[in-house]
Amino acid sequence: MNGIHDVGGMHGMGPIVREDNEPVFHHDWERRVFALMISTFAGGQYSVDEVRHAIERMDPAHYLASSYYEHWLHAMETLLVEKGLLSQTELEAKRSQLAQEHS
């Protein structure tokens, strides 16, 4: 797919910023996304190539504005809905519930 992920040779993206002593996770929710990805892989829900393609299919502006683990989360949501393990309605309901709990 000739998508936004294939940025090799593109100008104007700025320097690659290297973080000294970079932690494995910057936020606790990233640990959870990592664990969910490993467990859904082990459950045989999808291949790494399906996950990569789900990331490539993200809206280009969203792709550029979101972090590495947001890409993982987006791919899991996309694939689990496409494979029928989750419904979009269930996802939206959980999002609303969490938003209310944290408001």
Partner 1 sequence: MAVLTPDMVPAAVATGGSARVNVEVTPRFKPGDRIVVRNINPAGHTRLPRYVRGKQGVIQHDHGVFVFPDTQAHGGGPKPQHVYSVRFAAHALWGSEVSSQDSVYIDLWDDYMDPA
When the beta carbons of 20 and 49 are compared against partner 1, the nearer one is 49
Q: Could you give the CA distance from residue 22 to residue 78 in angstroms, rounded to a whole number?
A: 29
Q: How far is CA 81 from the centre of its chain?
A: 14
12 contributes a contact to partner 1 by CB under 8 A: no
Residue 44 binds partner 1, judged by CB under 8 A: yes
Rounded least distance, CB 33 to partner 1, Å = 14
Contact status, residue 81 vs residue 42, Cβ threshold 8 Å = no
Maximum CA pair distance of the chain?
44
Q: Does 49 bind partner 1 (CB under 8 A)?
A: yes
48 is a site residue for partner 1 (CB under 8 A): yes
